[in-house]
Structure 1
Amino acid sequence: MRRHFAQRLCLTAFLLAGLPLSHAEESTPAKLQADADLPLEELRSFADVFGRIKDDYVEPVDDKTLIESAIRGMLSGLDPHSSYLDADAYRDLQVGTSGEFGGLGIEVGLENGFVKVIAPIDDTPAQRAGLQAGDLIIRIDDKPIKGLGLDESVKLMRGKPGTKIQLTIMRGSNQSPFDVSIERAVIQVESVKSRMLEPGYGYVRLTNFQAHTSDDMQKALTALEKSNEGPLKGLILDLRNNPGGVLSGAVGVSDAFLTEGLIVYTQGRVKNSKMQFDAGPDDILDGAPLVVLVNGGSASASEIVAGALQDQKRAIIMGTRTFGKGSVQTIVPIDDSTALKLTTARYYTPSGRSIQAQGIEPDILLQPGEFKPIENATLKPVKEADLMRHLDEEAPDEAKSGEEEPKPLAIEDLQLSEALNVLKGLTILGHSKAD
């Protein structure tokens, strides 16, 4: 019975490989060549294992479960980003690119069998809990996950909004593992945030790249110019901890600041994996200086933007080396509810640099830091308030009494403060490009 089953499965494998059933018995040169290309011995081994599991495993296993497990196994052996998307994962992917999905709010990958945090997403439970880019998740609800696989680990982290999950985190080589409790929520991602830093100097943060990110960014820039009552002197584009997203979003954001030339191109084995994207003639900043902030959590689409603006000498890139995720994943539907996410090409910057496993090296290396004013100095300068019988401070206006004095930018975000200083320098020098 097992032999008959193996033969039947081998025939199925022939059909899946593209040989029509009507040609199964022909001995034409074309058929012989096709047969030679098939790994017949390996397919027989697969069929034997399939039959052995069906007959001898301690509990009955249905065919669909075995086939899906085999597909997952094939894809997990390729690279960390290729995977099988079952009905739930496929639906989550489609919803996620539109800006709303359930979970903790982290972009993750695999490293040495553990789940690695690529970046926490702004204003999500993961970010509020203090997760950082580079953290390794080694346990989920006290269950070890080494070797579990990315899809299964992600499923464990998903759950009903409002329920809690405990992650055991390894951060750095010298720190002991620690537990973090996070409450699941429906994640609604606002991909574009903006504000004025100082008169004339704008700030735009992109938390990820969605289908509408480019349009939203241009609306935000228009609003900044309106509040500034005129064109901006310069802009800081913050891509720190931006894990990426859809390619069209990255191309659109890059195109907004370029007037010509290549943005990014892709190369792979199949013909339709070779694509090239060029910039249109309009620069939304009209040549005003641009500084881009990146770090180790800037991945994929973020690296496309940083690489394009750096190679085209349109922006100064500041921060730390980016993540280095330069591969293209294509969603290949299997049926109406499932699909493959398959790595089909690599990204290249306009100058031909591969982002994969290299990342983008910033023009100005700027490590994260903290600015602390000196307190309790040995000798403090004498002020009016220190003098005996000094006049009391005039009572504040009622409108001002409840206002808190804003923190200096250097205390709020040292890297952003330094980026603003560079931007001012470019403005003073009159550079429209990062010459």
Structure 2
Amino acid sequence: MKILNKQNRLRWVSGTLVVLVVSVGLVGFNNNDNRNFSIVKNLDIFYTLFRELNSYYVDETNPEKLIKTGIDEMLESLDPYTTYIPEDDMEDFKFMTTGEYGGMGSLISKQGDYIVIAEPYEGFPAQLAGLKAGDKLVEINEVNVVGKSSSDVSNMLKGPANTPLKLKIDRPGENKPVTIELIRKKISINPVPYYGMISDKTGLIILNNFTQDCSKEVAKALKDLKENHGAQSFVLDLRGNPGGLLDDAVKIVNLFVKKGSEVVSTRGKVSQWDKVYRASSEPLDTISPIAILISRGSASASEIVAGSLQDMDRAVLVGQRSFGKGLVQTTRPLSYNAKLKVTTAKYYIPSGRCIQAVDYSHRNEDGSVGLVPDSLITEFKTLGGRSVYDGGGVSPDIKIEPQKYGNIAYALVAQSMFFNYATQFALEHDEIVSPENFTITDEIFEAFKQFVAAKKDFKYKSATQEALKKLMETAKKEDYYEKSKTEFKALEKLLDLDVQKDMEIFKEEISELLGNEIVKRYYYQKGAIKFSLQKDEELDKALKVLEDSAEYNGILNGTVLSHAGDKRSMK
């Protein structure tokens, strides 16, 4: 049975979807008749089911919503990265790949019924027009937006460049609404939010994502640090960078390795698409020591850069094991200007390893997925002969435990206590010292404590309390509670939360988060980054190893212990 290029068209007749023919695109499956029949059979079942559902379901249905739900659930059963992008979402997709959109240049957040300006981007229309963090949006172009969702308001704020926006806002400290008018511009977010010298000889480059041409921004920063600031070694910060475009990852590796070096290869079901990506240009620097900062949030293209430079013994990695996304997506066009972002291959870095951590091809009976099992983890060798492993992200050469925050810090963030206090602080203080020198004094910290104490709706729970609550419920079911009621009550009292006391216990981390929020009000994102550099354990370790040539070279030649060669560190 040979079925080739059957075509279908869809049209509506009296509210009923009529299928004339379905396009199954089966060219290339001539020798797989069973598969051809299965595809046609199941497409026909899907059509007839949809037709009957549309005709006879008791309530009115939304055909577009039903189909999109079906598509989304189908793709979700494969992996989280294979997704359907309808025409309405193309602007968001474009922003993810290019870092550009038409709008005013500001982050927004939801607080109660209001959408609040969370952070205006320095130098863009929102900031230049006078919008401030903490401003509550009331109207956009004379349309009331109180009670609307963040996504709805975001769509209203975005639009073609050079079109007007008229905003009515409630501003803390003002007795009446403020009207601000501005012109939308093309907003291009720099993927390198900061670079600078962190010692006499070492430069830092922070890369937030791999959008189109981000390699040019990294190259520009690298040249400036070398030529104008005398940098002789570099830290590339990829912490929390979720990845992006593979081509730009290759170009960034190319900055540091010889022309012709293999950076990454991709292999998938369609062998014609298999490709080896090599450094195609002359590098900028193949000699200077490099440290790369990675974390659990470093994924995809970040792992290609970090893993490739590790495999070529060109950089020392510091931080935590990376996310473990070794899959490549390709965008395919669909009808009606929609697109399919589909996983088409796995990528392999120079040692030959694939760092994919989750095995989506072998699901458990309940549909869940698990990590690649220990038995399938394989040892590979770097260019110089060091041991590295596949199947679970990129392991750093120098492992640093991630900073952990107490529950009270999470509660303060989630309930906007830092944000709202910083708004009040900015009203009371016209200026602060430079980000590098700003600190949370005892006076500021005490004022913040009183601010939190005055908020009667602040809720704070601890994991220990929740565990005790569950234990008591279980004890009651099993008749143990009454026998030990006195002990349970004593333990419950012991674990009673005292917000003021806990804020003192976790003063150091609370001060760090509070300081970051306050500094942003005066110096924006770049200032917040400078403030955070005052205390950064991973950056400090990277700087230390770059300044110790014996340790640096020892890690790269395998004479100094590296966590990258420890199979257990992959877990």
TM over 0.5: yes
Residues in 1 aligned to 2:32 and 2:206: alpha-carbon distance in whole angstroms? 58
Letter in 2 for 1:251: V
Contact 1:83-1:341 at 8 Å conserved across structures: yes
Q: How do 1:48-87 and structure 2 match up within 5 A?
A: 48-61=48-61, 63-87=63-87
> Does the 8 Å contact 1:289/1:433 carry over to 2?
no
Contact 1:256 1:284 in 2 (8 A): yes
Q: Is the 8 A contact 2:257 2:285 kept in 1?
A: no
Partners of 1:208 and 1:244 within 8 A in 2: yes
AA matched with 2:239 = R
Letter in 2 for 1:254: V
Corresponding residue for 2:338?
338
Q: Residue 400 of structure 2 aligns to which amino acid in structure 1?
A: L
Q: 1:57, CA displacement in angstroms? A: 1.9
Aligned positions, number: 330
Alignment equivalent of 1:417, drawn from 526, 540, 553? 540
1:365 is aligned to 2:399: yes
Change in Cα spacing, 1:304 to 1:31, as seen in structure 2 (3 Å) is closer
Name the SS of the counterpart of 1:47 in structure 2.
helix
Q: Report 1:148-227 matches (<5 A).
A: 159-161=155-157, 188-192=188-192, 193-227=194-228
Distance 1:203 1:405 in 2: 15
Contact residue 287 and residue 433 of structure 1 kept, 8 A: no
The alignment partner of 1:198 has SS state of coil
Residues 289 and 431 of structure 1 are in contact (CA less than 8 Å); yes or no, is this contact kept in structure 2? no
Q: Aligned pair in 2 of structure 1 residues 163, 253: CA closer, same or farther (>3 Å)? A: farther
Distance in structure 1 (CA, Å) of the matches to 2:302 and 2:436: 34
Unaligned runs of 5+ in 1: 1-5, 20-28, 107-120, 130-141, 143-152, 165-185, 371-401
SS at the partner of 1:254?
helix
1:12 aligned partner: 21
Counterpart of 2:294, as a letter, is: V
Q: Is the 8 A contact 1:234 1:288 kept in 2?
A: yes
Question: Aligned AA for 1:266?
Answer: T
User: Counterpart of 1:414 in structure 2: which amino acid?
Assistant: E
Cross-structure match for 1:434: 556
Higher helix share: 2
Q: How does 1:116-135 map to 2 (within 5 A)?
A: none
1:410–1:417 Cα contact (<8 Å) kept:
no
Task: String of CA shifts for 1:133-155, please: whole Å, max 9, x gaps.
Answer: xxxxxxxxx9xxxxxxxxxx996
Q: Distance in 2 between matches of 1:64 and 1:105?
A: 31
Task: Give the whole-Å Cα distance in 2 for the aligned partners of 1:159 and 1:89.
Answer: 11
Query: Structure 1 residues 404, 332: closer, same or farther in 2, change over 3 A?
Result: closer
Partner SS, residue 38 of structure 1: helix
Do the aligned partners of 1:303 and 1:359 also contact (CA within 8 Å) in 2?
yes
Q: Deviations over 1:141-192 (max 9, x none)?
A: x9xxxxxxxxxx996895544999xxxxxxxxxxxxxxxxxxxxx9752211
Contact persistence 2:436–2:534 (CA under 8 A): no
Gaps of 5+ in 2: 1-15, 109-118, 123-132, 135-146, 158-166, 170-185, 358-391, 405-432, 439-530, 558-571
Distance change in 2, residues 1:31/1:238 (3 Å)? closer
Aligned partners of 1:287 and 1:432 also within 8 Å: no
Cα distance between partner residues in 1 of 2:551 and 2:35: 68
Q: What are the within-5 Å matches in structure 2 for residues 309-320 of structure 1?
A: 309-320=309-320
Q: Shift of the alpha carbon at 1:299?
A: 0.7
Task: Say what the alpha-carbon RMSD is for the aligned residues.
Answer: 4.2
Q: 1:160 to 1:416 in 2, by over 3 A?
A: farther
Percent identity over paired residues: 33
Cα distance in structure 2, aligned partners of 1:190 and 1:258: 24
Distance 1:278 1:221, change over 3 A: same
Instruction: Provide the rounded CA distance (Å) in 1 between the counterparts of 2:356 and 2:397.
Output: 19
- Structure 2 residue aligned with 1:380: none
| Cα distance between partner residues in 2 of 1:71 and 1:154 | 25
CA-CA distance at 1:303 after TM superposition: 0.5
Aligned to 1:257: 256
Distance 1:72 1:337 in 2: 17
Structure 1 counterpart of 2:238: 239
Q: Deviations over 1:393-428 (max 9, x none)?
A: xxxxxxxxx7787379874212111110011112x6
1:76-115 alignment to 2 at 5 Å? 76-101=76-101
Alignment check: 8 A CA contact 1:207 1:241 kept: yes
Relative distance call for 1:57 and 1:155 in structure 2 (3 A) is: farther
Shift of the 82–364 alpha-carbon distance from structure 1 to 2, 3 Å rule, reads same
How far apart are residue 55 of structure 1 and its match? Answer: 1.0
Which whole-Å CA distance do the structure 1 matches of 2:242 and 2:302 have between them? 7
Quote how far apart the aligned CAs of 1:214 are.
Answer: 0.8
Q: Residue type matched to 2:402 in 1?
A: P
Q: CA deviation at 1:272?
A: 3.9
* SS state at 1:291 partner: strand
Give the 3-state SS of the residue equivalent to 2:252 in structure 1. helix
| Kept in 1: contact 2:26–2:36 (CA 8 A) | no
Once the two structures are TM-superposed, the CA of residue 273 in structure 1 deviates from its matched residue by 3.3
Q: Is the 8 A contact 2:291 2:316 kept in 1?
A: yes
d(CA) in 1 for partners of 2:168, 2:320: 35
Distance 1:247 1:104, change over 3 A: farther
User: Which shifted more, 212-221 or 313-322?
Assistant: 212-221
Moved more, 268-277 or 204-213: 268-277
Post-superposition CA distance 1:254-278 (Å, at most 9, x none): 1111115211111110134311111
Q: Say if 1:314 and 1:433, in contact at 8 Å, map to a contact too.
A: no
Contact 2:316–2:552 (CA under 8 A) maintained in structure 1: no
Equivalent-residue separation in structure 1 for 2:316 and 2:249 (angstroms): 17
Cα distance change of structure 1 residues 316 and 122 upon mapping to structure 2, 3 Å threshold: farther
1:44-93 deviations in Å (ceiling 9; x for gaps) = 43233212211112344465444444333322221111111011222221
What residue is the counterpart of 1:406 in the other structure?
437
- Give the equivalent residue in structure 2 for 1:271: 271
The more displaced of 251-260 and 304-313 is 251-260
1:227 shift after superposition: 2.7
TM-score, reference length from structure 1: 0.65
2:40 and 2:436 mapped to 1: Cα distance? 74
Q: Is the 8 A contact 2:266 2:345 kept in 1?
A: yes
Contact 1:262/1:277 (8 A) holds in 2: yes
Quickly say closer, same or farther: Cα 1:191–1:32, change in 2 above 3 A: closer
For the Cα contact (< 8 Å) 1:250–1:305, is it kept in 2? Answer: yes
User: Partners in 2 of 1:31 and 1:294 — Cα distance?
Assistant: 47
Contact persistence 1:409–1:417 (CA under 8 A): no
- Once the two structures are TM-superposed, the CA of residue 294 in structure 1 deviates from its matched residue by 0.2
Cα 1:302/1:411, change in 2 over 3 Å = same
Question: Counterparts of 2:316 and 2:168 in 1: how far apart (Å)?
Answer: 43
